[in-house]
Structure 1
Amino acid sequence: MASFTHCSLLFFSSLLLCFANTFPILGSRSNFALFPVAKDAATLQYVATISHGTPLRPADLVVDLGGSFLWMDCDSGHVSSSSRLIPSCSVNCSRAKFHDSGSKSCLFKTNCFVFPNNGVTGLASVGELLEDTVAVDSVDRLKVGEITTVDHFLFSCAPAFLLQGLASGAKGMMGLGKASISLPSQLSSSINHPQKFSLCLSSSTGAVLTGNGDAIFGTELTRSLVYTPLVIKQNDYFINVQSIKINGRRLSFHGKGKLEAKLSTVVPYTKMESSIYAIFSEAYVKAAAGMNMTRVAGVAPFELCFGWKGVGNWMPEIDLVLQSEMVKWRIQGRNSMVKVSRETICVGVLEGGSEESSPIVIGGLQMEENLLEFDIGSSMLGFSSSLLLKGTTCSSFLQDSKLQQFI
């Protein structure tokens, strides 16, 4: 993780720890809850910071858009006086297991067990379900900073081996899926937030925000979002792609019809199933040749690479056409290309293989500097396309808000 960004998050957490006891519990008066997010340079994962327990202690968690709940390694020696194990035969245990494919039976006088999953490696284990206090920042443009503490927040402990593959220093994962005990679901019910959350990822400082995003991002931007139906399968979020265009030219996928695209924060680059990637790759190379781009040897993990000289920011535009020709997610510039050396840039789209679970997986790079609003209540996804084209970034909204005193 970049040292400046990591220090910013540590500073934010330190302030939150120092002053949490002096701020009131806001409850329903809070407009939103915000978690700062930094990109880890080594793993390309997005790491959020949350403070939990009594006394409060910060924990770095890898953001998992399709995760069922928050889980962490509890064997760090930190003892929280507000932590409590959840009994097996309880309402909270039933809530936690509602979307669980494992056993939903309960045994009296035993603790509740769930199945934390590492969305990066696919590893899973058994973990005890607990409740504890978490603290979140709830600043808006009209008030000074205040800290909201949420009691009885549910999360799972997990064995240390489940941390394999996560960013250095990460203690677990922050699940943002639709499950009833995911972070957005719990905060929506605990502090009376709308049933939606926003994601603004960045190569520097971004954010996960639950509730109303107007206070941070402003109504001018939030009201300009374009919406497309959000398909939710278990805990994963999908959108339907009717077609793909490169520089305005529509690709033919031989009668495949609409393509489901899963959104993922644990996949750094967009992946396409092999047959789709082959068509995409051929069309992209033709479009690049038409723009006098010189193809060079691929650099792992990328196959489509080009000479950087003379290219600048002019690269083929990729459009994901959604429910109509008027609704499209445009991917261009920094969202489509990765500079791997002083002489070479590569397309940040990879072949996912023939066994890819979804025809398209939209990865983190393609979601960066793009405000995404997941409206769970109405099953709609709002998106801004690149904020860079609007002359701004995700981090600039945080700097312009009252949050600048924390980050």
Structure 2
Amino acid sequence: MKKCILLCLLLFSAYTCVSTQQNQPKNLVSTVTKNPILPLFTFTINNNEEYFISISGPYIVRNCNNSLPRPIVPCDSAACVLAGTFNPHQCPLTQNIITQRGCVCQATAFEPFKRICNSNQFTFGNFSMSTLNPKSPSVTFNNLNYLCIPQPFLADFPPGVFGLMGLSPTPLAGWNQLTPPRLGLEKKFALCLPSDENPRNKGAIYFGGGPYMLRNVDARSMLSYTRLIRNPRKRNTYFVRLYDISVNNKKILLARNTFDFDSNRDGGVALSTATFYTTLRSDIYKVFTEAFLEATSDIPRVSNTTSLEFCYKSTTNFQVPRIDLSLADEKIWTFFAANSMRKVSDAETCLAFVNGGNAPEQAVVIGLYQMENTLMEFDVGRCVFGFSSSLGLVNSSCGDFQTRL
């Protein structure tokens, strides 16, 4: 609990904010789209700019023309100090530069797909986003800090992806720059990531809390909450406490501290929007897949044609066991077939969990495929993570959320 309190206090760190809005909205909302080229999800800002959702990004990253002048964030400002403090742990420390205009703040971005770092000017500008308030259908917020990166850094991103929206538990994250004193939103955001690559199937992202209207129901009633925990070495990452994994209601046999941080603060269970399938350290993966294979011994296996290791022959009555994650606060996150099995062809369906090797940074990384078509709320103000079961169980999908008036 002390760690949780420290995280919450950290998020109230002072940094330069300019200009508050009259008639402030209670929340902001946008449609989420799944990209068919890379395993990423985007939402729209400034009417037509698509931003990759990164829950481990410490700040906003935006494509810029490097030859154009931009506002300077002074090196001795609180915003610049914070940008350096939350430098991505995968990257070297950033060095500010001295120019004729004075000391210009620099920051670093981490591109999660090619796993490369790039530094450039930290600056600020205006952004706009939609609301569900008919009297104020959109709102502009001024002087949000962001990292300006020239185009080559994001060259492999699909066309139309303009930048990266960092949503990590850090003071300069996009969600946190929308809270007081700049805007009056609560310290939380919610995601529902669509599970179908059909461009007509959309999801939703909310800043500032609910209601999250799923057809005529506020989906907050569907959420279970578990605590968020802090890792001082990886402050850009959301971690949850995992105690056990069960297959068909049978706990797999693992040491009690399997999912804990080690003495170097490696290990733990992280949430990621840059990892497609949930990844398990080799010792966990071995025991988990042995239990899964035993529970599916009556289903014909087929040779895998993908990166996924265990594949089965799809049949009309194809049924696989449920997978339960036992989290802190006696909460269970259950994955049914829609989030545990990936259909790769009409005749082949594969287990959508992968081997992370013997010495990964985390013991478990819960990835995008297991998050799809569920509602997730990151209530950083209260240091808790809310999650629903698959919306398919109530004959709904992320596309049923209200994102337009």
CA distance in 2, matches of 1:275, 1:257: 9
Q: Is the 8 A contact 1:270 1:366 kept in 2?
A: yes
Match of 2:254 in 1: 253
Given the alignment of the two structures, is residue 315 of structure 1 paired with residue 320 of structure 2, yes or no?
A: yes
Residue 183 of structure 1 corresponds to: 174
**Deviation per residue, 1:277-324 (Å, 9 max, x gap):** 1111111111111xx311111222100100002344x22111001125
Structure 1 residues 349 and 75, CA gap change in structure 2 (3 angstroms): same
Helix, strand or coil at the partner of 1:340: strand
- Asked if 1:356 corresponds to 2:379, the answer is no
In the alignment, which residue of structure 1 is the partner of 2:301? Answer: 295
Q: Which amino acid aligns with 2:63?
A: D
- Residues 365, 303 of structure 1: CA spacing in aligned structure 2 closer, same or farther, 3 A cutoff? same
**CA displacement, residues 310-346 of structure 1 (integer Å, 9 cap, x when unaligned):** 344x22111001125x410001121111111110001
Q: CA deviation at 1:114?
A: 0.6
> Is structure 2 residue 188 aligned with structure 1 residue 196?
yes
Contact preservation (8 Å) 2:213, 2:219: no
- Tell me the equivalent position of 1:243: 244
**Secondary structure of 1:116's aligned partner:** strand
Q: Which residue of 2 aligns with 1:208?
A: 205
Asked whether 1:59 is paired with 2:49, we answer yes
Aligned match of 2:73 in 86, 89, 98?
Answer: 86
Using the TM superposition, give the Cα deviation of residue 165 of structure 1 relative to its aligned residue in structure 2, in angstroms: 4.2
> Is the Cα–Cα contact under 8 Å of residues 33 and 210 in structure 1 kept in the other structure?
yes
Distance 2:241 2:39 in 1: 26
Aligned mates of 1:111, 1:337 — CA distance in 2: 49
1:46 lines up with 2:41 in the alignment:
yes
* Deviation by residue 1:203-229 (Cα, 9 ceiling, x = unmatched): 331122110221545774213411101
Of the structure 1 ranges 223-232 and 375-384, higher mean CA displacement relative to structure 2 is found in 223-232
TM-score by length of 2: 0.83
Name the CA distance, whole Å, in 2 between partners of 1:36 and 1:86: 31
Letter in 2 for 1:276: I
User: 1:236 Cα shift?
Assistant: 0.4
Return closer, same or farther for 1:361/1:94 CA change in 2, 3 Å cut-off.
same
1:351-399 Cα distance to aligned partner (Å, 9 max, x none) = 111131111111111111111111111111111121111221111012x
Q: Say whether 1:73 aligns with 2:44.
A: no
Partner amino acid for 2:76?
C
- 1:33 paired to 2:33: no
Aligned length: 363
Distance in 1 separating the partners of 2:278 and 2:128: 33
User: Which residue among 327, 333, 354 is the counterpart of 2:331?
Assistant: 327
2:245 partner amino acid: I
Q: CA RMSD in A?
A: 2.4
Tell me the equivalent position of 1:223. Answer: 221
Structure 1 gap ranges (5+): 1-24, 52-56
1:31 partner SS:
coil
Contact 1:121 1:164 in 2 (8 A): no
CA distance in 2, matches of 1:174, 1:27: 25
**Matched residues in 1 for 2:154 and 2:113: separation?**
10
Q: In the alignment, which residue of structure 2 is the partner of 1:270? A: 278
Deviation (angstroms), 1:145: 5.4
How far apart, CA to CA, are the structure 2 residues paired with 1:248 and 1:215? 31
**Any unmatched runs of 5+ in structure 2?**
1-19, 196-200, 261-267
Q: Which amino acid aligns with 1:196?
A: K
Query: Per the alignment, in what secondary structure is the counterpart of residue 353 of structure 1?
Result: coil
Out of 25-34 and 191-200, give the one that drifted further. Answer: 25-34
Looking at structure 2, the residues matched to 197 and 27 of structure 1 have their Cα atoms a distance apart, in angstroms, of 21
Distance 1:187 1:280 in 2: 41
Q: What is the DSSP-based 3-state SS (H/G/I as helix, E as strand, rest coil) of the residue aligned with 1:191?
A: coil
Calculate percent identity across the aligned residue pairs: 25
Q: Which position in structure 1 is the counterpart of 2:372?
A: 368
CA distance in 1, matches of 2:102, 2:25: 37
One-letter amino acid of the counterpart of residue 184, structure 1: W
Determine which of 89, 113, 118 is the counterpart of 2:111. Answer: 118
> CA offsets per residue over residues 40-76 of structure 1, 9 Å max, x none?
112121122211xxxxx63222111110111122028
**2-structure distance, mates of 1:92, 1:323:** 34
* Counterpart Cα distance in 2 of 1:68 and 1:227: 23
